[in-house]
A and B are shown apart, each in its own frame.
Chain A
Amino acid sequence: MKLTLVTGLTGLILLATIVELLRRRQLREKYGMLWLGVLVIVIPLSLFPRLLDNVAELLGVASGVSLVLFLGIVFLLLVCVHLSWEVSHLEEETRTLAEDFALLRAQIDADRAARDELVSHDG
């Protein structure tokens, strides 16, 4: 009973955190929805840990809790890989921006030098 209280409360606190972050526009919707979806699955499981026992037996896993642990780790691994992918993509984008910025600055310098030369010729 005590354990159910601990896991259930943890689930609810996580839910409240995600909702609050979304409400304050601190999370992009795609990530918010992802975590909300996860919590929709996790909270019932935290209240009734034996829910997956039947599925576990079907797959040859000794207990439903082990199955949840296994699936949880696989899921987190996938999320990490996805985030690495996103960061690589972002780095490519910022790299292109940095190059654009350097090329524009070079162009402005060249234009200014050309104008200064024109002015000094006229004067």
Chain B
Amino acid sequence: MVNGKRVLIIIPALNESGSIAEVVHEVRGELPGVDVLVVDDGSTDRTAAVAAAAGARVAKLPYNLGVGGAMRCGYRYARDHDYDVAIQIDADGQHDPRYVPKLVDQLDETDLVIGARFAGEGDYNVRGPRRWAMVMLSGVLSRVAHTKLTDTTSGFRAANRRVIDMFATWYPVEYLGDTVETLVHTARRGYKIRQVPVAMRKRMAGTPSHSPAKAMIYLGRAFAVLTLALIRR
């Protein structure tokens, strides 16, 4: 329980056996009253076993579906088990669970809350095509959602019952669909979105890519996904 609400933390994980135990332990330590569901997205390592040993509930997908597939599975679990709030956290440890109560607080007036960097807390900066993609995404999505959004690809978000019900039946599986397209879809259906500033930490395992070519491809794909999301119903 957080502020009288039943909260489920959903952690989509793909081959994260190196960091998942620590993330689960930290969440359970900081937030004793919440349930943790690790959705193992077809890992080939011991992610599911390690997560279960750390005290998380585990839903193990038979093969890799992508973050969107893992998340819909998590939202279906939240809906079927009657949770008031579902919160998504990355398995690499970059999201600090101490911000969870702050996100949950906002859900009284808002349907979907995004934990955003660049919003005044923590230090994080990017340059080049990746930066242009972020500016483009936040510019367009802020207009669609009628609220200021600076970190649209953040995987740190909290949803209330109404949004859980929607995400349990509809959640795109495509690249960037889990972040960009869900925001457009949610805003268009009249749900209220708001962001809350959070500080992100260095990842516990794995490294982000810095190649300029990859950044350009990212920009192109972000543009394509955004355009498609806007012309879809």
- Chain A residues packing against B (C-beta within 8 Å): 95, 98-99, 101-103, 105-106, 109-110
Contact = CB atoms under 8 A, between A and B. Distances in A.
Contacts of B77: 103, 106
B61 A110 contact: no
Given A98-B73, A99-B69, 17 more contacts: A95-B65, A95-B173, A98-B62, A99-B65, A99-B72, A99-B76, A101-B62, A102-B39, A102-B40, A102-B59, A102-B62, A102-B73, A103-B59, A103-B76, A106-B58, A106-B77, A109-B58
A64 to B, nearest CB: 40
Contacts of B40: 102
A105 B76 contact: no
Contacts of B124: none
B6 interface: no
Nearest to B72: A99
A102 B60 contact: yes
Interface of B: 37, 39-40, 52, 57-63, 65, 69, 72-73, 76-77, 80, 173
A102 B80 CA distance: 13
A contact patch SS: helix
A76 B58 CA distance: 45
B80 A103 contact: yes
Contacts, number: 41
B9 to A, nearest CB: 15
A110 B57 contact: yes
A103 B62 CA distance: 11
15 contacts: A95-B65, A95-B173, A99-B61, A99-B76, A101-B61, A101-B62, A102-B62, A102-B73, A103-B77, A103-B80, A106-B57, A106-B59, A109-B52, A109-B57, A110-B57
B101 to A, nearest CB: 26
A105 B80 contact: no
A81 B61 CA distance: 29
A98 B63 contact: yes
Contact of A102 (B52, B61, B173): B61
A75 B197 CA distance: 54
